[in-house]
Amino acid sequence: MQDWLERRAIETADSVTAISQATVDRTKQILQVTRNDFNVTPNPVNELFFSPVEAPSASSGPLVLFAGRLEWRKGPDILIRALPALLEQYPTARFCLAGGDTNTAPGGKSGLAYLSSLIPASLRAQIEFTGFLEPQQLLRKYRQATVCVFPSRWEGFGLVAAEAMACGKAIVVSDTPGFRELISEGVTGLFAKGEDPEGLASAISMLLNDSKLRETLGAAASRDVRARFRGSAVGESILGVYRKAMAVA
């Protein structure tokens, strides 16, 4: 019944928006929607995150940040499985997973409990789970991070990745449709193959090894997000959708 109602609403609306083409494609596939005139209007990035970058403290070792709910779709377990290889190369590295818990681990159990069970006792001191963070708290984590990682199994848009980019951070994302609309490989970020902890570790290592590459990617990412996802730019896009719909009506 819910699918039928959603499909009917989409098919009969004067205008329909979606945050990405990936979301359009998935909606059409799941709901069997036939209309083809979706308006892709991305989410805006909070102006808070368009801020100067703070260099992380070299004395405390590099910080790899994951931001997002601890849910299966976001892929935090893929990062956890990449930790041993990364810590073998960078024994002083620290890892932070910032996001609230969910009951999406195998068996419908706590994501936090499941992820904690994957971490060898010898590595636990270098991994921090912060729980949910308010925007100002999350901004501080972005600023402290050396590299930001988003290994999602699927994303419609990837707002936290865009926030990290706005902060001028070099990012690694999974090679999924939503992220392909967000970053340009080797220009504003790096892709890692999905479900591949070794590949994820390799991409992170590339950035940890090369400060110049981090700076170049981070600067380009910040410029790109400022141009495409500022509230004013997104607002103009939405206004255009409403004007067009009203003119037709």
> Are residues 90 and 24 part of one domain?
no
Residue numbers of the domain that contains 239: 2-44+230-248
Only one residue has tokens 């059409």, namely 28
Indicate the number of domains in the chain: 2
29: its two tokens: 């596939």
Residues 17 and 67 in one domain: no
Domain identity same for 101 and 199: yes
Instruction: Assess whether 124 and 79 both reside in one domain.
Output: yes
pLDDT per residue as tens, the chain (249 positions)? 678 899 999 999 989 999 999 999 999 999 999 999 999 999 999 999 998 766 656 567 999 999 999 999 999 999 999 999 999 999 999 999 999 999 999 999 999 999 999 999 999 999 999 999 999 999 999 999 999 999 999 999 999 999 999 999 999 999 999 999 999 999 999 999 989 999 999 999 999 999 999 999 999 999 999 999 999 999 999 999 889 888 876
Instruction: Verify that 109 and 181 share a domain, yes or no.
Output: yes
Spatial contact of 198 and 80, defined as CB atoms under 8 Å apart: no
Statement to judge: residues 69 and 159 lie in one domain = yes
Both tokens of 50, joined, read 């368009």
The answer on 143 and 89 residing in a single domain is yes
Q: If you count them, how many residues does the chain have?
A: 249
Q: What is the CATH number of the domain that holds 64?
A: 3.40.50.2000
- 153, 40: one domain: no
Q: Tell me the CA distances in angstroms from 191 to 2, 24, 66, 110, 174, one per residue in order.
A: 35, 22, 15, 28, 5
